[in-house]
Every structure is written in C-alpha cells, then in structure tokens.
A and B are shown apart, each in its own frame.
Chain A
C-alpha cells in the first residue's frame, strides 16, 4: 500500500485500526494515519470513545456474572437424573 493511502485512510480503515490498537502497538504510519483521520472525522472520533465504553461494559458484565454465579439454576428434573447416573458411575468406580 502506498504511504499516501496509509495516511489518508477511510473510516473503515480507521475503525479497524482503532480495534487493532487495543491489542498491539501500531506501526508509525498507522499511528500517524489514525491520528490525522481522528482529527477531521467526528464520526470516527465518536466511534473511538464508544468502542472503549463497550469494552468496559463487557468487562463489567463479566465481573457481574462471575459475582452472581447462582443467578441461574440447573433444571431440577435434570439435576435429579444427573445425580442418579453420576452416583451409579461413582459406585462403579469405588468397587
């Protein structure tokens, strides 16, 4: 890709770099290109901020479900059946 294309990137390219940046360091041309793009494109600037909020939301959701592990219950009928077949297996192993 020509340097000019790297620096004058489209919104599709810029948003792809924003996501890549969360995980690894961008190359120099990529960094400059993204910086230039975010300077004049208010949509991508919004995307940049919102993408961060979404990542934080996912993390917060993950914390919430690990602290509320009892929020769902295994179907009681299934649990009883499981208990029965598991005990059977357990007895087999013990003898």
Chain B
C-alpha cells in the first residue's frame, strides 16, 4: 500500500496547481526564463525531500514559495561570488572599469554633477505613472540593466523586504560595499527612468 505523505501536502497536485505561480514569482524577480525554470523545478524536488519539515497548519503554497525564495537567494549568492567583485575595490568607478559619468573628476569641480547626468525636473508624477502598464515595463527594464549583483541587492531591499544585514550576509559583502552599490543603483536607475519615462 502507498505510504501516506505528510498530512496537508498533496504533492501529486503540486505541478498542476503551483508551477505557473512559482514560475511567475521567480521570473518577475530574475527576468531570465531558463534560470526561473530551473529554480522552479528544483523547488518541487527539494520540497518533496523536505516534506517532513512541513507544518500541517501552514499553507502549501506559502511553504513552496519560502523554498523558492531560498533558491533565489542562493542563486544571487552564487552569482555574486563569480563576478563583479572588482567594482568594490574602486567605488568611484563604473562596472566597466572607467570612472562613471555621474560626477566630475576634475580637481576644480570634483564630485559635482556632470552636465549630462544632473537631474532634470520630471514631467510626470508618481500617481499618474503607477496607473500605466508601460511605466512598469520601463521600470523592469531599467532594473534589468543594472549590474547583476547590484540589481540583486536592489531587488532584495526594495521588493523582497529583506533588511540590510541579511542582504550583506547573502551577497557576502560589507555594509560599506552595500552603500556603494545602493548609491550606484539609484544613480543608474534614476537616469534610466528619467530618460525613458519621466521626461520622455
């Protein structure tokens, strides 16, 4: 006779019930089909192996999402040990190794906005922006354009509500690395959104 699986869990229904849900969750954050697909598959198999840790009063869906979240963080962490560590050696530089274009580096005007990067007044406001699907598409694209680890930190902070300490631990960076990254992230995102939405 078939052995009863943990009460409250119906793994034979998981794929049908939750695969689109988990995939949407992962894809919305990672913007990479293949990676999202892999993580979703992993999640189901890990959940099956870890089914004894499921508490009967929890929801199946919430439990599966918590496993997927863990996988997403592991993915970010693996990514972050592979590349981009060099940008922290020289905080004032862009990820391509040249000093980025936001601020002047001439002695006289050191640290002042460059003409090209100085913020402009925006034509659209927040309330009208958030009513438009196009606004979210542009925002998503601008986040995707950030260097990968920077995008990971930004997403973890602003979308997944992790605290700074947790993010530093997961990405294996110091708080000062983190501040540099968030500063750069905001400068890049602001410029991208200004060009493509707020003054477009």
Q: Do A and B actually bind? A: yes
Which of A's residues lie within 8 Å of B, judged by CB? 9-13, 15-16, 19-20, 23-24, 43-44, 46-47, 50-51, 53-62, 64-66, 68-75, 78-79, 82-83, 86-87, 89-90, 93-95
- A61 and B136: CB pair below 8 A? yes
Q: What is the CA–CA distance of A57 and B3 in the complex, to the nearest angstrom?
A: 49
Seen from chain B, the residues whose Cβ lies within 8 Å of a Cβ on chain A are 2-3, 5, 11-12, 14-16, 19-25, 27-28, 33, 37, 40-41, 44-45, 48, 92, 102-103, 110-113, 118-122, 126, 129-130, 135-136, 139-140, 143, 154, 158-160, 164, 179-180, 182-183, 186-187, 189-190, 193-194, 198
| 25 A-B residue pairs with CB within 8 Å | A10-B112, A12-B103, A13-B111, A15-B183, A19-B186, A20-B183, A24-B164, A46-B120, A46-B121, A50-B190, A50-B198, A54-B186, A55-B158, A56-B126, A57-B130, A64-B136, A65-B24, A68-B24, A70-B21, A72-B20, A74-B23, A89-B45, A90-B48, A93-B48, A94-B5
Q: Which residues of chain A are within 8 angstroms of B136 by Cβ–Cβ distance?
A: 61, 64
Q: Which 7 pairs show the lowest CB-CB distances between chains A and B?
A: A10-B111, A62-B159, A58-B158, A74-B23, A46-B119, A12-B111, A65-B28
Question: Per DSSP, are chain A's interface residues mostly helix, strand or loop, or mixed?
Answer: helix
In the complex, the answer to whether B23 meets A89 with C-beta atoms within 8 Å is no
CB nearest to A45 among chain B residues: B119
Residues of A within 8 A of B3 (CB): 93-95
